[in-house]
């Protein structure tokens, strides 16, 4: 019995024959002989390709190219753009960046540097950071130029307006890229591979192109008269080359996931290639294996970067969504997404009050909310995801307010799940694989929902003093010993994982965690001392940090506890030596040293020499912003202790600490008097642990806490 599908495919073939005959009379762009590679790679036994097969049986490119272009413009067997209420979903774009790209004014990825290519002719092998004065060399500029992020803007602008200027600019840039960037014979792999330097074919870029920008442009410009038949098939040839390249070469960690997602998209969106099914199978196999390998039992990804954790989630989910839109879900294992529930919950558990993520290891500003919106589609039964995504209108708040992730080694202490909560993140675990920072025992704090005690995230991947500083202990909220920062090696990219004991305690009254750094300092990885840090959160509004430095010899050492505040607006109280941020109309933070004897305190803003102090180094339009670094310094022989009270201040509220006094006979304890008449007795306990006892204004006992000990 003849199926309706077979009849339709035959009719489609005849229609394409007619369109082919009609196209002979119209002018066409010159056909490049190299596109013959495309036709040899096609499964021409497919009925819908009968017109193409007929043309290619005579090896006649002049006929085969328009036949293939006509087929691609009418085919309905693939779906790239999602639909909403039956209409294609508009992709996000920047009109300003689209207009700039038309003029040839573009930038490499997240770099703040735009470069104007004369007459719009982009040199894809050019690195603007090496030619524009005032910019540090940054290999990523040229690599990320070849991700074509601005092509998404051109495609989005064309989708929204139909303005052919955007299509013409894309086609001009496509032609130049194909001309300048032939497929290499070897892998342009990791950032330290000499073959990758200056290459537009670094495997990560190849994956990103096929994961995002190239499909956006192929499908959104498909019916533009500027995107001529020869251009369309030339792009198809390059897409074929991308598939073969990604099937052969790959990186590790987030790279491999991104590359596999790009490979899957190539196979799913262009099933006409003989190799398409094998590409998809390889991608699914790799993604399944990497999910099992890369994610800890607590959901964290091995790089332990709060930024790249979300990058891997996006790559995995994007590939699966392409499968869903094209009816290919059965190519994935039935339980493929199950392990990802913990990975999405990892974002939830570390999420900051402003719905971003603390910046540990290389990380820019990242939206935990966006990841949870995506997670809710896959895991609709998660009421805690729903509660966050809907702003509390639906679902239920997460059961645990504070949490500890024992394999990742991150603790999150919070007063609640509202956007005005007090929140502190504490790092006590492994360093991670790649993208590492030397910041063990770092703490980052959001008083009443605002990030004040900040983490840099590493800024741009440039070669500069700013990049070096931002990934070092000198930019972290931790302790420097004898002018030396931490220096622990990368974790191996293979092997298992183990739990980190942080002596985690969480009660309705307080949270407590402890961590230890007993590895090397400085370029020689010297071991001058062991650093133990305890953090106690007396809910809902007081954080106490105890730092014990135990030397490994009998010589004197100098210790600096650093606190990086995200504002240059601070005031130092001469009586208590507390440094308080004083931004009007915003929540603020008081950093109060409690053991004053032998302690030096200074607050420095926007300093570059003799060392960098008081800056925020970040990605984006403002890579460096003046801030404040508070430095507590003490020196001596034997154990030294810093005991620091961090007081979140709501909008319009000043520092409540009016007096700090030593406790007689207790060198490791202090008594703190507050302006409302309350008194706090705070002390270190032996080798680890903190106690806090509160006395109310009327002499009655208030809150008490004992963590560790």
pLDDT of residue 23: 41
Which residues lie closer than 8 Å to 51 by C-beta, 6 or more apart?
Answer: 13, 16, 17, 20, 67, 70, 71
Query: Environment class of residue 218 by beta-carbon count within 10 Å: exposed (0-12), middle (13-18) or buried (19+)?
Result: buried
| C-alpha–C-alpha distance, residues 125 and 346, integer Å | 39
| C-alpha–C-alpha distance, residues 647 and 31, integer Å | 70
What are the residue ranges spanned by the domains of the chain?
4-72, 78-249, 409-653
pLDDT of residue 191: 56
What CATH code would you report for 409-653? 2.70.98.70
Residue ranges for the chain with pLDDT beneath 50? 1-2, 6-8, 10-28
Q: What is the pLDDT of residues 541-596, one digit of tens each?
A: 999 999 999 999 999 999 999 999 999 999 999 999 999 999 999 999 999 999 99
| C-alpha–C-alpha distance, residues 14 and 128, integer Å | 51
pLDDT of residue 194: 64
In angstroms and rounded to an integer, the radius of gyration of the C-alpha atoms of the chain is 29
Put the strands of the sheet holding 479-481 in their side by side order. Answer: 479-481, 557-565, 628-636, 600-604
pLDDT of residue 3: 52
pLDDT of residue 327: 96
User: Which of 598, 556, 566, 582 has the alpha carbon at shortest distance from 649?
Assistant: 582
- Beta partners for 531? 517, 549
pLDDT of residue 709: 75
User: Which of 521, 529, 564 has the alpha carbon at shortest distance from 548?
Assistant: 529
pLDDT of residue 6: 45
pLDDT of residue 394: 97
What kind of fold does domain 78-249 have according to CATH? Glycosyltransferase (1.50.10)
Label residue 338 left, alpha or beta by phi (over 0 means left) and psi (-120 to 50 means alpha). Answer: alpha
pLDDT of residue 549: 98
Q: What is the pLDDT of residues 669-701, one digit of tens each?
A: 999 999 999 999 999 999 999 999 999 999 999
| C-alpha–C-alpha distance, residues 157 and 160, integer Å | 5
Residue ranges of the alpha helices (H) in 250-400?
254-269, 276-294, 306-325, 340-350, 368-378, 383-389
Lookup: tokens for 169: 């600019």
Give residue 540's Cα distance to chain centre: 30
Distances (CA, A) of 212 to 36, 215, 258, 315, 482: 26, 6, 10, 10, 48
Question: Contact, 340 vs 378, CB < 8 A?
Answer: yes
Distances (CA, A) of 571 to 604, 616, 630: 11, 19, 11
pLDDT of residue 200: 95
pLDDT of residue 366: 80
Q: How many CB atoms lie within 10 A of CB 21?
A: 10
Question: Contact, 630 vs 623, CB < 8 A?
Answer: no
Write down the residue that tokens 């491999």 correspond to: 256
């Amino acid at each position: 019995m003849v199926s309706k599908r077979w009849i339709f495919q035959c009719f489609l073939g005849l229609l394409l024959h007619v369109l082919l005959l009609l196209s002979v009379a119209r002018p066409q762009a010159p056909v490049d002989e190299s596109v013959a590679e495309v036709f040899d790679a096609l499964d021409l036994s497919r009925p819908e390709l009968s017109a193409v097969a007929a043309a290619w049986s005579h090896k006649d490119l002049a006929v085969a190219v328009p036949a293939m272009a006509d087929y691609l413009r009418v085919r309905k067997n693939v779906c790239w753009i999602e639909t909403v209420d039956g209409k294609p979903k508009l992709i996000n774009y920047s009109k300003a960046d689209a207009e700039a790209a038309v003029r040839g004014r573009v930038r490499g990825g997240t770099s703040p540097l735009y470069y104007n290519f004369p007459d719009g002719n982009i040199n894809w092998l050019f690195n603007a950071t090496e030619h524009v004065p005032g910019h540090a060399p940054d290999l990523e500029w040229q690599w990320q130029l070849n991700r074509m992020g601005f092509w998404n803007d051109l495609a989005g602008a064309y989708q929204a307006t139909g303005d052919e200027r955007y299509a013409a600019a894309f086609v001009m840039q496509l032609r130049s890229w194909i001309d300048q960037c032939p497929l290499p014979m070897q892998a342009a792999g990791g950032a330290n591979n000499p073959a990758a330097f200056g290459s537009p074919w670094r495997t990560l870029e190849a994956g990103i192109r096929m994961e995002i920008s190239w499909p956006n442009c192929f499908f959104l410009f498909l019916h533009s008269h500027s995107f001529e038949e020869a251009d369309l098939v030339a792009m198809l040839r390059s897409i074929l080359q991308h598939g073969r390249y990604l099937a052969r070469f790959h990186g590790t960690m987030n790279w491999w996931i991104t590359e596999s997602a790009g490979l899957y998209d190539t196979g799913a969106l262009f099933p006409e290639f003989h190799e398409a099914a094998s590409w998809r199978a390889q991608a699914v196999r790799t993604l399944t294996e990497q999910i099992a390998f890369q994610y800890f039992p607590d959901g964290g990804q091995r790089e332990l970067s709060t930024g790249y954790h979300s990058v891997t989630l996006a790559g995995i989910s994007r590939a699966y969504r392409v499968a869903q839109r094209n009816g290919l879900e059965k190519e994935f294992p039935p339980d493929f997404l199950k392990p990802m529930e913990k990975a999405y919950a990892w974002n939830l558990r570390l999420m900051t009050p402003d719905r971003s993520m603390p910046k540990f290891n290389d990380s820019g500003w990242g939206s935990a909310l966006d990841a949870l919106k995506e997670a809710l589609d896959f895991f609709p039964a998660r009421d805690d995801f729903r509660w966050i995504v809907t702003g509390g209108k639906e679902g239920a708040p997460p059961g645990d307010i504070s949490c500890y992730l024992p394999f990742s080694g991150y603790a999150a202490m919070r007063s609640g799940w509202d956007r005005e909560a007090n929140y502190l993140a504490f790092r006590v675990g492994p360093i991670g694989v790649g993208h590492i920072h030397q910041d063990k025992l770092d703490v980052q704090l959001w008083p009443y929902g605002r990030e004040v005690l900040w983490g840099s995230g590493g800024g741009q991947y440039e070669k500069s003093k700013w990049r070096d500083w931002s990934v070092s202990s000198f930019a972290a909220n931790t302790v420097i010993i004898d002018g030396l920062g931490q220096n622990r090696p990368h974790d191996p990219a293979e092997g298992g994982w183990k739990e980190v004991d942080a002596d985690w305690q969480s009660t309705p009254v307080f949270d407590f965690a402890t961590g230890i750094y007993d590895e090397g300092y400085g370029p020689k990885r010297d071991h001058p001392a062991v650093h133990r840090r305890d953090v106690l959160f007396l809910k809902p509004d007081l954080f106490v940090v105890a730092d014990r430095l135990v030397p490994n010899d009998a010589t004197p050492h100098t210790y600096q506890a650093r606190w990086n505040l995200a504002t240059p607006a601070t005031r130092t109280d001469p009586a208590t030596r507390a440094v308080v941020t004083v931004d009007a109309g915003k929540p603020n933070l008081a950093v109060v040293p409690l053991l004053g004897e032998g302690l030096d305190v200074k607050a420095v803003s926007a300093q570059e020499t003799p060392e960098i102090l008081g800056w925020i180094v970040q990605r984006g339009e403002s890579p460096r912003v003046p801030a404040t670094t508070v430095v507590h310094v003490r020196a001596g022989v034997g154990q030294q202790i810093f005991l620091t009270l961090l007081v979140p201040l709501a909008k319009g509220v000043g520092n409540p600490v009016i007096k700090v006094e030593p406790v007689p006979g207790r060198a490791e304890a202090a008594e703190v008097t507050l302006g409302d008449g309350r008194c706090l007795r705070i002390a270190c306990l032996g080798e680890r642990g903190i106690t806090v006892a509160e006395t109310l204004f009327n002499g009655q006992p208030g809150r008490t806490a004992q963590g560790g000990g």
